[in-house]
Every structure is written in structure tokens, then in C-alpha cells.
Structure 1
């Protein structure tokens, strides 16, 4: 998962991971974060996710991190917003309230010196191969204040294709995050044949999991 992989995906519009609808786990489970409306939400590897619109509708500011400038440009164009762009450390910050989207490698987010009380991850952890997930979990821990909460959505499946979304089951989530977070399972959805990969014979099951992580 080198940067050029994601740049190529956006340049060729191979973005099957992008959801046109608001994620149902976000709608159903966000209340468990207990978040005050004005709290800023960290969204790693945000792409042009429509989930960020929903968070803004709940009164939140959004701090997204995205490698591809095409994804960020699409997000603001589809929202009919014209952002300001300015350097911010190792990043370029695209800003139009309530959105600040940082163009650059999320693994350098430490350099901004920012910390958060809320985060939302639908497609970041499952976009990373196993070798990169421990570093991601450690970075998320550093970026969250004590007591900070993360709503995490993962998937589990038995597809053999070595490409995202990767399977990250409950056991792996606990291994990755329990050293620094309390981990609570909020929802488990077995999609079965309703999932297009199962229907196409790419895998025999495809499950979605939603967790609440609370920074110790």
C-alpha cells in the first residue's frame, strides 16, 4: 500500500470503497461516543466520504486526512464549497468551515502537534495491510486525548484477493487497540449473500463490525 497505489486508484476512478450513502453504523452507533455537538472529529484516510457531511450536520467540525488531492477536490466540489488552501507543516490544508482536510500522508500527522477527543474510522484500518496496522493503531492512540473516543467500523471475510478492504476481525481489533484503548463491540452485521463479493463467489461470508474505542 505505497502512496502511488492510492494515487492510481483515484486517478483511474477505481474507488469501489467509496460509499454513496451514509454508513448505517455511523447513524446507529455515533450516539455511543457521547460527543458534544461542537467537538472536532478526526477522520483518517477520509477520501471524499459523505460520512463527513453527516458529522457536520450533527454540529461537528471535521479534520480529515487524505493522501489524494483528487479525492479532496471532489469532496469540496460535490459539497459545492470553495476551500482555501494553505501549507500546514508537511501537509496542505484545504479549509472551508466546518471542514479541514489535510492533504498528505496520515502517518505524519504527529508533526501537526494536534490531538483529538473524537475520531471516526470506517475505511482506514481495513485499507492497510497487516504489517501497517500496528503503526496505525499506535498513531491513533497518540492523536487521541485520554478519554477520547473512536468509532471504528471494520469488515471480516475470507476473500483471497490481496487488496482492500482487508479482513480485520474482532480478535485483531482487540490485539491492536487494547494496549491503549478500552474496546467495546457495538454491532455485528452478517451480510451473507446480500454482499456483492459473496454473491460473486469471491468469499463465503462478509461481516461488518462496529466498535467503540475509549483512550485510556
Structure 2
């Protein structure tokens, strides 16, 4: 990500222009997470996490959760709004905020190393990929491959504007971009496609408007590569 993009993201949080923040746990996370059959205590990585309430939900399922977020404003708000008292310490170029099963590394995702992140069992990407400019997404995935073990699975939620994306009943039509970015290293399963608009009043009010796709990615075996 460029310095310009970083500066813009930080300014969004300083100005409280955070319409992208969902005010409730993502309904698709609660619906599709159980299908991963993750063991109690599994370590879950949430890239570009903001102050997402999804992290609380994952911790409540018994998982160790670690996010990475550039904005200190967002990290501080997450712990304050959820009445958590984190312990902070420096870790390389990052500040690690930790409370119980919840940890957030405050700093630049693209500067993160595998050693700083530690062992990861699953990645939960709630529209982090599609929030990035298209020319940055390849770098995002390359960085993920560097810092996350090959054995980790990924639950990927993509979000697209309804005005820009035609709605199709073909739920097995995996987007070309996901194939291009992940297809070399992962088996890609498209689990669900959902349009959320004013007709779904509860989800719409929670800030979930858009066309959502849920993917389950698992690393290819040598015979599949």
C-alpha cells in the first residue's frame, strides 16, 4: 500500500468517516464459520481489522484472535468501546495490544513478518481484500502468503457495490479476480452469494449493504498444484 493510501486511511479514522464499519457481527461469519470445524483454541488472523466486532465473536467461540490495523484510533476505539483493558508492548515496528484472547498489532500490514504474527490456523478476511484498491490486491495476497503458514485455511468474504455488480443466480460462478489471486496456491470453494439491500432491513441497518460472496480457501496438495 502506498503512503498516500495509508495517510487517507488514517485520516478517515481521525475524521470519524467510518461508514464502512459494521455495527453488528457479520451475519455470514456466524452462518459459515462452523463449517470450518476449527478446534477450540485455534489461532485466527484478521487482516485490516479496524474495530470489527467479528473479532469479539470469534474470541467468544474459544479462539485466539489476532488482528492487524494501521490506525491507532481504530485500535483504541475497539478496546474502549468493548470495555476491555489491554496490555500494550512494542513488537518490532508494531504495538501489540492484548486483552485475554484478543490481540491487535497496530501498524502497517505490509511491514508484518511471520515471526511477529506467529502461528496461524485460519485467516478471516471480511472484505479486507475488496476494500483495497485493485492495483494493491496482488501485493496484499503475496504478503499474506509470506506471513501465514501454507497449512492455514481462509474464510474470505468479498463485498461489491450493488450498483456496480450485476446480480446472478449462478452461485458457482467464482469471480475471475479471486481465481487470479488465489488459484495457484489454493483450492477455491464458493459457498454462498447474497445480495443485501433495503429489503433486508436488519442487515442493511447494520451496514452490510452490498453483494457478498463467501469463499473457503484451502491450500493445494502437491497433486493439486
Q: If the TM-score is normalised by the length of the shorter chain, which range does it land in?
A: 0.7 to 0.9
Among 75, 78, 87, which residue is 2:78 paired with?
A: 75
Q: Structure 1: which 5+ runs fail to align?
A: 161-168, 200-204
Match of 1:128 among 126, 132, 136: 132
RMSD: 2.2
Equivalent residue, structure 2, for 1:146 = 150
User: Number of residue pairs matched?
Assistant: 201
Equivalent position of 2:123 in the other structure? 119
Q: How far apart, CA to CA, are the structure 2 residues paired with 1:113 and 1:191?
A: 34
Q: Tell me the secondary structure at the aligned position of residue 25 of structure 1.
A: helix
2:44 pairs with one of 41, 45, 50 = 41
CA offset at residue 156 of structure 1? 2.6
State how 1:140-179 maps to structure 2 within 5 Å. Answer: 140-157=144-161, 159=163, 170-179=175-184
- Deviation, structure 1 residue 158: 6.1
Instruction: Give 1:159 shift.
Output: 4.7
Spell out structure 1 runs of 4+ moving beyond 6 A: none
Do 1:144 and 1:215's aligned partners in 2 also have CA atoms closer than 8 Å? no
**1:183 pairs with 2:183:** no
Moved more, 112-121 or 171-180: 112-121
What is the distance in 2 between the residues matched to 1:113 and 1:46?
14
| Whole-Å separation in 1 of the counterparts to 2:160 and 2:175 | 9
Structure 2 counterpart of 1:6: 9
Residue 38 of structure 1: CA displacement? Answer: 0.4
Q: Distance in 2 between matches of 1:127 and 1:55?
A: 21
CA deviations on 1:147-196 (whole Å, 9 max, x unpaired) are 31111110233657xxxxxxxx7221111111111111111012355489
Q: CA 1:75–1:206 in structure 2 vs 1: closer, same or farther (change >3 Å)?
A: closer
TM-aligned CA distance change 1:61 to 1:113, over 3 Å: closer
CA-to-partner distance for each residue in 1:123-148, whole Å, 9 max, x for gaps?
31111111110111112222332331
